[in-house]
Amino acid sequence: MTRIGSCLITVTIAGGAVGLMAAASSRSADTPSTFITKIPAGYRDWKLISVAHEEANLNSFAAVLGNEAAVKAYRDGRLPFPDGAIIASLHYRFVPSEENNKAFGQAQSFVAGDPTNVQFMIKDSKAYASTGGWAFGHFNQDGTVAGEAVMKTCSPCHAKASRDSVFTKYSR
Amino acid sequence: MTRIGSCLITVTIAGGAVGLMAAASSRSADTPSTFITKIPAGYRDWKLISVAHEEANLNSFAAVLGNEAAVKAYRDGRLPFPDGAIIASLHYRFVPSEENNKAFGQAQSFVAGDPTNVQFMIKDSKAYASTGGWAFGHFNQDGTVAGEAVMKTCSPCHAKASRDSVFTKYSR
């Protein structure tokens, strides 16, 4: 896994992240105390929040899932998210599907290729007050946690999101 | 909802579907007895199978979900799918995200826009033997079922999929 990114919307270090880190503004930079270092159990079974695609260097396909607390908050239109809410973003390579294109009779179909990384946000408004009430984590495809250089980019970027540091909107 | 498509990978009537229907080959065309006319309960809570994107006229973003029987079969690598398996494809418009692009500092981000339709496949190898063991359904965004002209395109296209009439592969 060579892809490196900020949390839940992924950016490349070259280019994007420099600007993002400069924009950390009033929020404290992430520190190891706000990093998620263990993958939340059972996340692959969680309910769908929405999907996303990033072009450019990332060329990623994301499925965004939430635990019960996160999905309930989304469905209730509740902001800020309650403590205990966890959002997961599962990233895959964005690849053309030869089989689907053949069925369609033209090149138009893209599917999820190999998994690249999975990212999490965990809400605890007190424990993670310095980073907007969220801890952030980025796990490589082999399950290892990303290095500090990557992890530090999460919170400053998410501070730009207008809905309690969360970019992804719920798709009904 | 003006978008019209075949089931679970969506095609436009103009162009694609004509070719698809001509390719019905050895499989009987769908008949009303193999159409799904009622939306399966609780599908929005089902587990994620994978994601997909169609370019061209469709420009759609899909999240593919499965009921317990379908997801278990995927995870176990079991083919054909067991009777009772249901696969749902939730389609949305594929739209750029201004907010995400602003955070990235460049135009690269696409998200799910308004929902357009939801499609289902239900496995019953005896009841739907004439269409590969699957019933197919396409529901417009307002919950109404698609007309027969659309519904008849599902099975002939899915007959081209190499894994028990299912195009979507499981993303771990």
Residue B5: pLDDT over 60: no
Res. A33 pLDDT band, cuts 50 70 90: confident
Query: What pLDDT does B56 receive?
Result: 84
Q: Tell me, what's the pLDDT at B32?
A: 75
What mean pLDDT comes out for the span B114-141?
Answer: 97
Q: Is B19 on the interface with A (CB under 8 A)?
A: yes
- Whole-structure pTM value: 0.85
A residues 142..171 contacting B (CB < 8 A)? 157, 160-162, 167-169, 171
Where does the pLDDT of residue A104 fall: very low under 50, low under 70, confident under 90, or very high at 90 and above? confident
Q: What is the pLDDT of residues B8-66, one digit of tens each?
A: 554 333 333 333 333 334 455 567 789 999 999 999 999 999 999 999 888 999 999 99
- Which pair of structure tokens corresponds to residue B68? 């317990």
Average pLDDT over residues B87-111: 94
A113, exposed or middle or buried, with CB in 10 Å at 0-12, 13-18, 19+?
middle
pLDDT at A135 over 50: yes
**Portion 39-98 of A in contact with B at CB < 8 A:** 44-45, 47-48, 50-56, 58, 61-63, 65, 90, 92, 94, 97
Q: Residue B90: its chain A contacts at CB < 8 A?
A: 48, 171
pLDDT value for B101: 94
CA B12/CA A99 separation, integer angstroms: 17
| Integer CA distances (angstroms), B77 to A89, A95, B67, B169, in order | 24, 22, 15, 10
Find the closest chain A residue to B57 by CA distance.
Answer: A108
Are the Cβ atoms of A92 and B63 closer than 8 angstroms? no
Per-residue pLDDT at B29: 59
Region of poorest pLDDT, from A60-64, A100-104, B8-12, B63-67: B8-12
Mean pLDDT of chain B: 86
CA dist B112 and B61 (Å) reads 6
**pLDDT of A158 higher than 90:** yes
Nearest-CA residue of chain B relative to A167?
B100
Is there a contact between A52 and B9 if contact means CB atoms under 8 Å apart?
Answer: no
**B32 to chain A, minimum CA–CA distance in Å?**
23
Question: Are B54 and A108 an interchain contact pair (Cβ–Cβ within 8 Å)?
Answer: yes
Instruction: Return d(Cα A111, Cα A99) in angstroms, integer.
Output: 11
Question: What is the per-residue pLDDT across B100-116, written as a single tens digit (0 to 9) for each?
Answer: 999 989 999 999 999 99
| Confidence at residue A168, expressed as pLDDT on a 0 to 100 scale | 97
Distance from CA of B103 to the nearest CA of A (A): 6
Mean local confidence (pLDDT), A117-121: 98
A53 with B47: Cβ contact below 8 A: no
Instruction: Using the CB atoms, write b or e for B107-133: b if 16+ within 10 Å.
Output: ebbbbbbebbbbbbbbbeeeebeebbb
What is residue B14's DSSP assignment? I
Inter-chain contact B48–A44, Cβ cutoff 8 Å? yes
Q: What is the pLDDT of residue B58?
A: 86
First to last CA, chain B: 32
Q: Compute the average pLDDT of residues A59-72.
A: 97
Give the mean pLDDT of A123-150.
95
| Higher per-residue pLDDT: A154 or B58 | A154
pLDDT of residue B49: 98
Token duo for residue A74: 């989304």
Confidence of residue A110 (pLDDT cuts 50, 70, 90): very high
Average pLDDT on B85-94 reads: 97
Q: What is the mean pLDDT of chain A?
A: 86
Please name the residues in contact with B146: beta carbons below 8 A apart, sequence gap of 6 or more: B4, B117, B137, B138, B139, B140
